[in-house]
Amino acid sequence: MELKELVTRFIWLIPAAPLAGFIINGLWGRRFSKNFVTLIGCLGPFIALLVSIAGFRALSMIAPAERADGIVYTLYNWISAGSLHVDIQFIIDPLSSIMLLVVTGVGFLIHLYSIGYMGHDKGYSRYFAFLNLFMFAMLILVLANNLLMMFIGWEGVGLCSYLLIGFWFEDNEKASAGKKAFIVNRIGDFGFILAIFLIFTSCGTLTFSGISEQAKTLAPGVLTAIAILLFVGATGKSAQIPLYVWLPDAMAGPTPVSALIHAATMVTAGVYMVGRMSAIYVNSPEALIIVSIIGGLTALYAATIGLVQNDIKKVLAYSTISQLGYMFLGMGVMAFSAGIFHLVTHAFFKALLFLCAGSVIHAMSGEQDMRKMGGLWRKIPVTFACFVIGAIAIAGVPPFAGFFSKDEILWKTLERYETTHAGLYAVLWVIGLLSALMTAFYMFRLIAMTFFGAPRANEEIMHHVHESPFSMTSVLVTLAILSLIGGFIGVPHLLGGHNWIEGYLEPVWAHPESAGAVTTEAANHSMEIINIIVSVLAGLAGILGALLIYTKFTALPAKLTESNSGKFVHRIVYNKYYIDEIYNALVIQPIKYLSALLWLIFDMAIIDGGLVDLSATLIAVFSQLSRRIQNGIVNNYAMLIFIGAILMLCFFVAQMAA
Amino acid sequence: MNLGILTWLILLPVAASFALLFFKRDRTTEIKVFAFIVTLLIFLLSLELFVNFSAAKSGMQFEQIHAWIPQFGINYHVGVDGISLFLVLLTTLLGPICVLCSWKQIEKRIKEFFIALLLLEAGVIGVFVSLDLIMFYIFWEAMLIPMYLLIGIWGGESRIYAAVKFFIYTMVGSLLMFVAILYLYSRTGTFDVQGMQWKLHLPFAVQCWLFLAFGLSFAIKVPLFPFHTWLPWAHTEAPTAGSVILAGVLLKMGVYGFLRFAIPFFPQAAQYFTPAIAVLAIIGIIYGALMSLAQDDLKKLIAYSSVSHLGYVMLGIFAFNVRGMEGGIYQMLNHGVSTGALFLLVGFIYERRHTREISEYGGIAKVIPVYAVIFMIVTLSSIGLPGTNGFIGEFLILLGAFEARNIYGILAASGVVLGAAYMLWLYQRIFFGKITNPKNEHLEDVNKREMAYLLPLLILIFVMGLMPNIFLSRTAKSVNDFLKNQAAYFQGINKP
Task: Write out chain A residues lying below 8 Å of B434, CB-based.
Answer: 170, 172
Q: Confirm if A355 and A476 have CB atoms less than 8 A apart.
A: yes
pLDDT band at A376 (very low <50, low <70, confident <90, very high): confident
A17, A34, B430, B446 from A31: Cα distances, Å: 21, 9, 26, 17
Q: Is residue B428 within 8 Å of A175, Cβ to Cβ?
A: yes
Q: Which residues contact B369 (CB under 8 A, 6 or more apart)?
A: B445
Contact A595 B416 (CB under 8 A): no
Cross-chain residue pair B425–A169, CB shorter than 8 Å: no
Look at residue B229 in the predicted model and tell me its pLDDT: 87
| pLDDT tens sequence across A517-528 | 445 555 578 888
DSSP state of A498: -
Q: Is A577 left (phi over 0), alpha (psi -120 to 50) or beta?
A: left
| pLDDT single digits (tens) A177-213 | 999 999 999 999 999 999 999 999 999 999 999 999 9
Does residue A398 surpass a pLDDT of 90?
no
Cβ-contact B306, B221 below 8 angstroms: no
Distances (CA, A) of A655 to A643, A646, A648, A650, A651: 18, 14, 11, 9, 6
Residue A558: burial class (beta carbons within 10 Å; 0-12, 13-18, 19+)? exposed
DSSP B400-435: HHHHH-HHHHHHHHHHHHHHHHHHHHHHHHHHSS--
Under-50 pLDDT residues of chain B: 1
Q: What is the pTM of this model?
A: 0.92
- The span from the CA of A147 to the CA of A158, in Å, is 16
- Give the separation between CA B312 and CA B23, rounded to whole angstroms: 44
- Element spanning A576, H or E: none
Q: d(Cα B177, Cα B140) in Å, to the nearest integer? A: 11
Question: Band of the pLDDT at A160, cuts 50, 70, 90?
Answer: very high
pLDDT of residue B282: 95
Contact B240, B302 (CB under 8 A): no
8 A C-beta contact, residue B344 and residue B457: yes
- Classified as helix, coil or strand, A342 is helix
One DSSP character per residue, A290-317 reads HHHHHHHHHHHHHHHHHTT--BHHHHHH
The Cα of B216 is separated from the nearest Cα of chain A by a number of Å equal to: 14
Residue A218 DSSP label? S
Cα–Cα distance for residue pair A69/A89, rounded to 1 Å: 13
Nearest to A175 among B366, B428, B469 (CB): B428
- Could you say which of B287, B385, B467 has the minimum Cβ distance to residue A155? B385
Q: Read off φ and ψ for residue A80, nearest 5 degrees.
A: -130, 120
pLDDT digits (tens, 9 = 90+) for B268-288: 999 999 999 999 999 999 999
Chain A residue numbers with beta carbons less than 8 Å from the beta carbon of B387 are 152, 156
Name which of B409, B424, B476 is nearest A197 (Cβ-Cβ). Answer: B409
Spell out which residues of chain A touch residue B295, defining contact as CB-CB under 8 Å: 599
- Residues of chain B positioned with their CB less than 8 A from the CB of A83: 322
- Asked whether B379 and B427 are in contact (CB, 8 A), the reply is yes
Distance CA B130, CA B79 (A): 7
H or E element: which one contains B172? helix B159-188
Strands A71-81 and B74-80, by their bridges, are unpaired
A9-18, A488-497, B82-91, B261-270, range with the lowest pLDDT: A488-497
Closest CA to A157 of A54, A18, A12: A18
pLDDT in tens, A357-372: 999 998 888 889 998 8
Q: Provide the ipTM.
A: 0.92
The three-state DSSP-derived secondary structure of A225-257 is HHHHHHHHHHHHHCCCCCCCCHHHHHHHCCHHH
Q: How far apart are CA B115 and CA B13, in angstroms?
A: 9
Rounded Cα distance, B68 and B73, in Å: 8
Question: Comparing C-alpha atoms, which of B370, B355, B367, B222 is closest to residue B299?
Answer: B355
Q: How many CA atoms lie within 13 A of B131 on its CB side?
A: 22
Q: How high is the pLDDT of residue B36?
A: 95
Q: Which of B420, B421, B433 sits opposite A172 (nearest CB)?
A: B433
Residue A347: Cβ within 10 Å count:
28
Closest CA relative to residue B62, chosen from B98, B40, B23, B89: B89
Interface of A with B in 50-79 (CB under 8 A): 76-79
Query: Which chain B residue has the Cα nearest residue A27?
Result: B370
| Contact predicate A360/A331, CB 8 Å | no
For the cut 70, the answer to whether the pLDDT of residue A581 exceeds it is: yes
- Residue A80 forms contact with B (CB below 8 Å): yes
B-facing residues of A in 569-608 (CB < 8 A) are 591-592, 594-596, 598-600, 603, 607-608
Q: 3-state class of B294 per DSSP?
A: coil
CA pseudo-torsion sign B435, B441, B447, B449: negative
Q: Looking at chain A from residue 145 to 204, which residues have their Cβ under 8 Å from any Cβ of chain B?
A: 148, 151-152, 154-156, 159, 162, 166, 169-172, 175-176, 179, 182-183, 186-187, 189-190, 193-194, 196-198, 200-201
Contact present, A365 and A464 (Cβ < 8 Å):
yes
Chain B contact present for A43, CB below 8 A:
no
Question: Would you call the peptide bond into B223 cis, given omega within 30 degrees of 0 as the criterion?
Answer: yes
Minimum CA–CA partner of B425 in chain A? A179
Asked whether the beta carbons of residue B468 and residue A603 sit closer than 8 angstroms, the reply is no
Provide the 8-state DSSP code for A369: B
Q: What is the pLDDT of residue A516?
A: 47
Question: What does each C-alpha distance from A470 to A171, A439, A476 come to in angstroms?
Answer: 30, 30, 10
A81 vs B410: CB contact, 8 Å cut-off? no
Q: A81–B413: do the CB atoms touch at under 8 Å?
A: no
Backbone angles phi, psi at A603, to 5 degrees: -75, -55
Chain-centre distance for alpha carbon B288: 17
Phi and psi for B80 in degrees, rounded to 5? -130, 150
Nearest Cα to B75, choosing from B83, B64, B85, B86?
Answer: B64
Q: What 8-state DSSP symbol labels residue A79?
A: E
For residue B341, what pLDDT is reported? 95
Which of B291, B387, B413 lies nearest to residue A603, judging by beta carbons? B291
C-beta neighbour count of B447 within 10 angstroms: 11
Mean pLDDT of A165-182: 91
Please list the alpha-helical segments (H only) found in B354-388.
369-382
Rg (CA), chain A: 31
Rg from Cα positions in chain B: 22
Using the predicted structure, report yes or no on whether residue A458 has a pLDDT greater than 70.
yes
Asked if residues B60 and B80 have their Cβ atoms less than 8 Å apart, the reply is yes
pLDDT at residue A628 greater than cutoff 80: no
For chain B, give the number of residues.
Answer: 496
Q: Identify whether the C-beta of residue A287 lies closer than 8 Å to the C-beta of residue A223.
A: yes
Q: A219: helix, coil or strand?
A: coil
Contact A432, A410 (CB under 8 A): yes
A104 close to A18: Cβ distance less than 8 angstroms: no
